[in-house]
Amino acid sequence: MTKEQWLAIKNHDKTYDGQFYYALKRSKKVCRPSCHKNALRPERVIIFDTLQDALDKGYTPCSKCRPDKESWAGARIELANAAERMVLEHYKEKFSLEAMARELFVDKSYLLRTFKEIKSYTLLEFHNLTRCEKAKELLHKPELSISYIASEVGYVSASHFTQVFRKVTGQTPSQYRTSYLRSLDE
Residue numbers annotated as active site? 31
Residue 80 Cα distances to 71, 100, 113, angstroms: 16, 11, 10
Q: How far apart are CA 130 and CA 109, in angstroms?
A: 22
Q: Of 64, 91, 71, 80, whose CA–CA distance to 120 is shortest?
A: 80
Q: Which of 147, 152, 178, 184 is nearest to 162 (CA)?
A: 147
Contact, 36 vs 62, CB < 8 A? no
What is the distance in angstroms between the CA of the first residue and the CA of the last residue of the chain?
69
